[in-house]
Structure 1
Amino acid sequence: MSGPPPRPLLKVCGATAPGDIEAAATGGAHCVGLWHGVPGGPRELDPDTLTALASAARSAGLLAALVTFLADARATTELARRTGVGWIQLHAYQSPAAVRALREALLPDVRIVKVLHVAPGGGGCVERPLIGAYERAGTDLFLIDAATDDGRIGSTGHALDPGDVLALLPRMTRPFLLAGGLEPTNRPRYADVTRAPGFHGIDVDTAARSPLTGRFGVPEITALTRAWRTAPATGPARFRHPPAPLEPSR
């Protein structure tokens, strides 16, 4: 008999210091996002700091994810090899061709996460017609996030309409993470999303932070872990890949 389905993972995004890594691990997160190549981003890291924090994350039993707007496959591959990240999360609007070039250049155990941006007010998802092409190019995992009326993307704090998320799922054969204004209190709103077969976990920035310091907070991350019923991390090797196995990229 097969065992129970894997519990979803929790990714907290935008670590900038060792204390953020410690809070993420203590609070029960599985994955920590590290920004580089995000022009004007408030949590942008230089390559040396990114490398150090990725190492600290692995030592703490966390999966390190590079979060980037970069579209240059060669530069992104060099950075991934230097830092040892397990995931590369492509924000912005990189093309399927860019994903394919990255997939061909990367080590096979580095996962590619492509963000799909959903506009507010039923504005749809600009990448919707390309989902199949992204999968064929080598995307391992999607992340569904909110864009804003003024075009901002990434850690906007804006919540998605569950119906807009569900409307994308028939086009996808890869697992997905949910992002966009997620908090401990709004999990019931996304009950149908969390029951979808491809649901793989959540990605949180704002709600993982202490309102007093603006840094990752153990109480805040613990509250997310409990409310979204994610499983605690248990060691450095466990989250090299997502907890549910992914099919090979086609």
Structure 2
Amino acid sequence: MSPEPASRLPAGHSAAPEARRVLKVCGATTPDDIATLDAAGADCVGLWHGVPGGHAELPERLLTVLAGAALATGRLQPVLVTFLSDPEALTGLARRTGLRWLQLHAYQPPAVVRAVRAALPDAVLVKVLHLRGGRCLERPLIGAYERAGTDLFLLDTTTEDGRVGSTGHPLAEDDVLALLPRLSRPFLLAGGLSPHNRPDFDTVARHPGFRGIDVDTAARDGHGRFSAPAVTALARAWRTATSPEESP
């Protein structure tokens, strides 16, 4: 079963993605990528647009094609992954492409979330929180992000030189656990995750707010292509903590 489509979520900032643990794979660039991820058991596919210099940056035309291909599977939810911070640009892009899940992956302020929420009341808004050296850079703004309309947080690392997104740098479970009391929205985990380090996050994976993981490199083979066995291994490893029937 795929993640709950945004059109079936409650409107407004009280919307909450379903509790099922999901696997989001970032960086699709071709229809073949979409087919591989769908067949291998991914739930969400991250499509990059407005990520300057990003290895999976898509022009709007191809973004629209891939979003449509994902929706046509009937189970794979396309997610816009973007550094864009202009609410009008974000709103227009979402309406033109049909994307309903928007992941704000840079340092967009709460005001951007608020404006996008007002314009797109049925969207699912994912705000990334960046941890560097164990410290969440947006920690003072978490409450403001929630009040502005964030549905789901994504916890990820940033490097010491400031790089964000698909860095492969792992989070430490203790750092995640220290941040969780500040969150009243569910969250996804990112940052160097693999089937092998799943046991390192046992406590986080049992947290009632945990909704799954977001990966890029771990879903690929040695040539950088998406690998069905790799995606399936991730899905199996990270869905063992809580079954859908046990989810809150």
The reply to whether TM is greater than 0.5 is yes
Q: Which residue of 2 aligns with 1:53?
A: 66
Q: Which residue of 2 aligns with 1:67?
A: 81
Q: Which residue of 1 aligns with 2:6?
A: none
Give the Cα–Cα distance (whole angstroms) in 1 for the partners of residues 142 and 103 of structure 2.
15
Deviations 1:23-78 (A, max 9, x none): 11011000000000001111100000000000000111210100000000000011
2:169 corresponds to 1:155: no
Q: How does 1:218-233 map to 2 (within 5 A)?
A: 218-229=228-239
Q: Which residue of 2 aligns with 1:207?
A: 218
Give the Cα–Cα distance (whole angstroms) in 2 for the partners of residues 100 and 187 of structure 1.
34
Point out where structure 2 has 5 or more consecutive residues left out of the alignment.
1-17, 242-246
Deviations 1:158-215 (A, max 9, x none): 1001111111111111000000000010000000100111000100000011113x12
Judge conservation of contact 1:10–1:230 (CA < 8 Å) in 2: no
Letter in 2 for 1:203: D
Q: 1:116 aligns with which of 109, 122, 129?
A: 129
Deviations 1:119-165 (A, max 9, x none): 03x3x011001000000000000000011111100000110011111
Give the Cα–Cα distance (whole angstroms) in 2 for the partners of residues 141 and 230 of structure 1.
21
Point out where structure 1 has 5 or more consecutive residues left out of the alignment.
232-243, 246-250
Q: Percent identity at matched positions?
A: 66
Judge conservation of contact 1:11–1:31 (CA < 8 Å) in 2: yes
Give the Cα–Cα distance (whole angstroms) in 2 for the partners of residues 209 and 128 of structure 1.
32
Give the Cα–Cα distance (whole angstroms) in 1 for the partners of residues 200 and 130 of structure 2.
19
1:185 partner SS: coil
1:7, distance to aligned residue in structure 2 (A): 3.7
Letter in 1 for 2:28: A
Q: How does 1:95-244 map to 2 (within 5 A)?
A: 95-106=109-120, 108-120=121-133, 122=134, 124-212=135-223, 214-229=224-239
1:109, distance to aligned residue in structure 2 (A): 2.2
Report the RMSD for the aligned CA atoms in angstroms. Answer: 1.6
1:193 partner SS: helix
Deviations 1:54-113 (A, max 9, x none): 00001112101000000000000111111111210001100001110111111x221000
Give the Cα–Cα distance (whole angstroms) in 2 for the partners of residues 66 and 215 of structure 1.
20
2:41 corresponds to 1:28: yes
Q: 2:55 aligns with which of 42, 66, 76?
A: 42
What TM-score do the two structures reach when normalised by structure 1? 0.87
- Structure with larger RCO (C-alpha < 8 A, sep 6+): 1
What TM-score do the two structures reach when normalised by structure 2? 0.88
1:29 partner SS: coil
1:230, distance to aligned residue in structure 2 (A): 6.7
What is the aligned residue count? 225
Letter in 1 for 2:95: R
Give the Cα–Cα distance (whole angstroms) in 2 for the partners of residues 7 and 227 of structure 1.
14
Distance 1:64 1:230, change over 3 A: farther
Q: After the TM superposition, which parts of structure 1 deviate over 2 Å for at least 4 consecutive aligned residues?
A: none
